Amino acid sequence: MMGSMDQKELADFLRRRRELLQPTDVGLPPGARRRTPGLRRHEVAQLAGMSPDYYIRLEQARSPQPSPQMLTALARALRLNRDERDHLFHLAGHPAPPAFGADDHVSPGLLRLLDAFTTLPAQIISDLGAVLVQNQMAVALLGEQTVFTGLARSFTYRWFTDPGARNLYPPEDHEHQSRVLVADLRAAVALRPHDPLAGKLVQALHATGTEFTALWDRHDVAVRRSDRKRVVHPALGVIDVDCEVLTTARQDQRLLVFTARPGTDAVGQLELLRVIGSQDLAAAEEASTAD
């Protein structure tokens, strides 16, 4: 249920949190000398995936009420802790997300770890397979994975419902990928015995056909802690990488880091991906105006 929005307080809170951050705090290059403290407005907008014009209007107390999804993105961009995130929601006239169960809030500590991997693809996912945040390298390697809504936020769901999701891996790896996804989902659901989202996801997957049901009935359970993946990139071909997984204490979120084995072609391929990511950032910086 939406409440009234305190535009003035929301604008002040956003501005003050922005001014506390430096580009290096959020994984951005330092750039040229700054006339104002903290991040620039367009940098916050870039991190949150919204238009700079909309974010500027938020700080000027003349925007419409932001959605919960937009507030979640802003909380990540500004590296808010849980209390600050809840305060942001209250100022915008929305109830704070629940403290337990399915929660998209990523702790600032986990985000700082993600920011540290500037030369490697890295992303944070939920235990149900929803990609919560990616660095530029991960977007260059895997494509933008944070734009999906509903059950489709789960890569496991898309794997069994959207044939295009399987283009990310060579056909000969699909059977292995299916087994890994289902075994990992089994482990996650066991930790969410009364979670309606987990139950809805499994029910929907059973309706997709016999492949998922047959694998589910095997009752294989295996939390992903590391894996070797061959990713099909549209420009660079197959990239063979190792995937290391760091899991939170609650086991509800994971940081995935993709690395290349020394002496393999993947070393050079990841270097090219780094250039692609840097070019994207440079283009965004050049297209924006100084705040």
pLDDT of residue 100: 46
pLDDT of residue 9: 95
* Coil vs helix vs strand at 283: helix
pLDDT of residue 264: 96
Which tokens is 190 given? 């066991």
Instruction: Report d(CA 80, CA 39) in Å as an integer.
Output: 14
Sheet (strand 226-233) strand order: 131-134, 122-126, 253-259, 237-247, 226-233
Q: pLDDT (tens digit, 9 = 90+) per residue, 132-147?
A: 999 989 999 999 999 8
pLDDT < 50 regions, the chain: 100-101, 281-282, 284-285, 287-291
Instruction: Report d(CA 140, CA 142) in Å as an integer.
Output: 6
Residue 245's DSSP bridge partners are 256
Instruction: Report d(CA 95, CA 27) in Å as an integer.
Output: 30
Enter the DSSP assignment of 127: T
- Structural domains of the chain ordered from first start: 7-97 (1.10.260.40), 108-279 (3.30.450.180)
* Coil vs helix vs strand at 145: coil
Instruction: Report d(CA 283, CA 291) in Å as an integer.
Output: 17
Q: Distance between the two ends of the chain, CA-based, in angstroms?
A: 35
pLDDT of residue 99: 54
Enter the DSSP assignment of 252: S
pLDDT of residue 276: 75
Q: What percentage of the chain's residues is helix, strand, coil (to nearest 5)?
A: 50, 15, 35
Residue 262's contacts (CB-CB under 8 Å, 6 or more residues apart) are none
Which tokens is 75 given? 């909380």
